[in-house]
């Protein structure tokens, strides 16, 4: 059955389509192993400060963290904002350093009177809020999600971690672990751990890429439904990019810990983990196609931006263009039909017209968390749509936006992409592969040219009708070239 895609529904970071361990000989062995790691590492600088952490959950809502650092230091900082949600550092309490006196210099900032190589502190996690539930760490009665970005000092760039959990609880993550249940976390700011009493985990491979599926609690679908739909989407994006994910990926699905009748689900993809929080009481009769729609957006983030290693604010591409590519993927997988494809774009256009458009997409990306940020998504999605149409028309239906993804990952135009490259520059170079494409990107991405579908669409055989129920995109009388273009787009 085909489903309707509502890009304004609660979804992802924007609201758019859009083992129980006791302190025993295991810990002693693990600490010894960590010391060997430190000794073999040689001189440790501030740029490669590592730690060995024990994270203990004594009861829901509070955890304690003990970190043995690889080098004595006298200052530590915690992030106080993420994805527009403020106040995460305010949850850090009772911060201490062994053999040193510590003062709180500011919110999330601690200084000691001498260097210390061991710190401990408590993190009190309040009741999760709808705004922060997919972005910040939280714990409820029988499960929770731990985001190391708000639990570990920003100076610590790598961790070996063990957990001390309540009886009958376990922990799962995409981070690798050894036989002693010690997790190796290469990038704490991207690490996500699911903890709880009823975790079920399965592992499969998708064309050589490892995928873990972790489910928690009572959910309105079966594990095989998740695996089947995730696999189909991952195969599509492997074909799209030509790039095989290097790290193990995880899809973590748990009940939304907040009662909100208007929220169906919340999600975020961080690092190599897709976190999906489901409202089990949501009025959705067919979750299988809904899962596919969600995955088409969130799983693409495993590639873009998480595998690109680019710097800067290019949210217009990895959110707006991702929304459009996810819509295309839903159409290609048969979850929606061409009529719904056009209807979704019409709804997005209505949202776009309801918000001011005075900044370029690059400027909107820079201000994303300081404002509503909606144009990054809705205008970005519409610009991706128009770019796709332009590329198809220019090539007689032989090329499309999809070709840019493979070029981006293979670096045919920009050379081999390296860590730290400017994201806007790299992506604009790829998208502006022809003179017409370069002028298009300059107008709609670098400058603040408004999207006027009623003026642009007729050249492609489409029109837009403004009604009291919203904008409706329609197929008009087509010439031969327009038939070929729309056929390549999925029109039959």
Q: Is 19 part of a structural domain of the chain? A: no
- Report residue 470 CA to chain centroid gap: 30
Tokens encoding 81: 């904002």
Of 158, 179, 205, the one marking the end of a domain is 205
Q: What is the pTM of this model?
A: 0.88
Could you identify the residue written with the tokens 């327009």? 482
Is 63 within 8 Å of 123 (Cβ atoms)?
A: yes
What's the pLDDT at 411?
Answer: 64
d(CA 436, CA 439): 5
Nearest C-alpha neighbor of 263 from the set 253, 277, 273, 250: 277
Q: Is 295 part of a structural domain of the chain? A: no
Is 88 within 8 Å of 136 (Cβ atoms)?
A: yes
Nearest C-alpha neighbor of 60 from the set 110, 162, 128: 128
d(CA 414, CA 429): 7
What's the pLDDT at 419?
Answer: 61
Is 119 within 8 Å of 159 (Cβ atoms)?
A: no
Q: Is 320 part of a structural domain of the chain? A: yes
Q: Roughly what angle, to the nearest 10 degrees, separates helices 287-298 and 223-241?
A: 40
Q: Is 58 part of a structural domain of the chain? A: yes
Name the E strands within 158-272: 158-164, 170-173, 183-185, 192-196, 199-206, 209-216, 249-255, 265-270
What's the pLDDT at 29?
Answer: 42
Sort 137 into a burial class: Cβ within 10 Å, 0-12 / 13-18 / 19+: buried
Q: Is 361 part of a structural domain of the chain? A: yes
Parent domain of 195: 25-205
Of 205, 238, 268, the one marking the end of a domain is 205
Peptide bond into 305 cis (omega under 30): yes
Is 370 within 8 Å of 208 (Cβ atoms)?
A: no
Question: CATH number of the domain that 125 lies in?
Answer: 2.60.40.3650
Walking along the chain (492 residues) 10 residues at a time, the average pLDDT comes out as 40 32 35 38 57 89 92 95 91 95 96 96 93 94 94 96 94 92 95 94 95 94 95 98 94 94 93 95 85 97 93 95 98 96 97 93 90 86 98 92 92 52 92 95 97 96 92 95 94 92
Buried b (16+ CB within 10 A) or exposed e, 367-394: ebeeebbbbbbbbbbbbbbbbbbbbbbe
d(CA 284, CA 295): 16
Of 155, 181, 205, the one marking the end of a domain is 205
Backbone angles phi, psi at 261, to 5 degrees: -65, -20
Q: Is 284 part of a structural domain of the chain? A: no
Q: Is 352 part of a structural domain of the chain? A: yes
The total number of structural domains that make up the chain:
2
Q: Is 60 part of a structural domain of the chain? A: yes
Could you identify the residue written with the tokens 């530590």? 76
The answer to whether residues 196 and 337 belong to one domain is no
């Amino acid at each position: 059955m085909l489903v309707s895609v509502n890009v304004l529904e609660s979804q992802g970071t924007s609201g758019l389509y859009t083992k129980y361990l006791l302190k025993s000989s295991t810990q002693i062995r693990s600490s010894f192993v960590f010391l060997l790691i430190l000794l073999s590492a040689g001189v440790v600088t501030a740029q490669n400060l590592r730690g060995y952490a024990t994270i203990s959950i004594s009861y829901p809502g509070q955890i304690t963290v003990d970190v043995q650092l690889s080098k004595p230091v006298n200052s530590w900082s915690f992030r106080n904002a993420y994805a527009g949600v403020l106040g995460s550092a305010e949850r850090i309490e009772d911060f201490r350093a062994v053999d040193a006196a510590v003062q709180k210099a500011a919110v999330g900032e601690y200084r000691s009177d001498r260097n210390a190589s061991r710190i401990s502190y408590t993190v009190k996690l309040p009741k999760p809020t709808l705004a922060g539930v997919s972005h910040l760490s939280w714990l409820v009665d029988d499960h929770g999600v731990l985001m190391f970005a708000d639990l570990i000092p920003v100076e610590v760039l790598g961790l070996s971690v063990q957990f001390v959990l309540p009886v009958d609880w376990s922990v799962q993550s995409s981070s690798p672990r050894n036989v002693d249940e010690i997790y190796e976390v290469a990038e704490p700011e991207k690490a996500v751990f699911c903890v709880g009493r009823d975790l079920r985990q399965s592992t499969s491979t998708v064309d050589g890429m490892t995928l873990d599926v972790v489910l928690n609690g009572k959910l309105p679908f079966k594990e095989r439904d998740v695996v089947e739909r995730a696999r189909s989407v991952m195969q599509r994006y492997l074909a799209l990019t030509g790039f095989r994910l290097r790290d193990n990926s995880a899809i973590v699905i748990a009940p939304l810990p907040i009662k909100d009748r208007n929220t169906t689900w919340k999600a975020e993809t961080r690092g190599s983990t897709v976190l999906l929080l489901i409202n089990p009481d949501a009025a959705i009769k067919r979750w299988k196609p809904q899962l596919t729609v969600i995955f088409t957006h969130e799983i693409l983030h495993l590639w873009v931006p998480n595998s690109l290693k680019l710097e800067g604010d290019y949210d217009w591409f990895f959110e707006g263009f991702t929304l459009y590519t996810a819509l295309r993927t839903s159409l290609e997988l048969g979850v929606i039909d061409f009529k719904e494809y056009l209807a979704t774009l019409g709804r997005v256009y209505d949202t776009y017209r309801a918000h001011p458009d005075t900044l370029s997409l690059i400027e909107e990306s820079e201000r994303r968390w300081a404002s509503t940020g909606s144009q990054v998504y809705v205008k970005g999605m519409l610009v991706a749509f128009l770019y796709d149409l332009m590329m198809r028309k220019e090539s007689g239906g032989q090329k499309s936006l999809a070709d840019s993804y493979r070029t981006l990952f293979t670096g045919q135009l920009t050379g081999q992409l390296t860590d730290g490259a400017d994201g806007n520059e790299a992506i604009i170079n790829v998208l502006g592969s022809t003179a017409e494409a370069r002028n298009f990107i300059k107008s709609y991405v670098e400058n603040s040219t408004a999207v006027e579908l009623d003026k642009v669409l007729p050249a492609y055989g489409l029109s837009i009708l403004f009604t009291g129920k919203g904008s409706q995109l329609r197929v008009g009388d087509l010439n031969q070239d327009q038939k070929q273009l729309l056929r390549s787009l999925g029109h039959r």
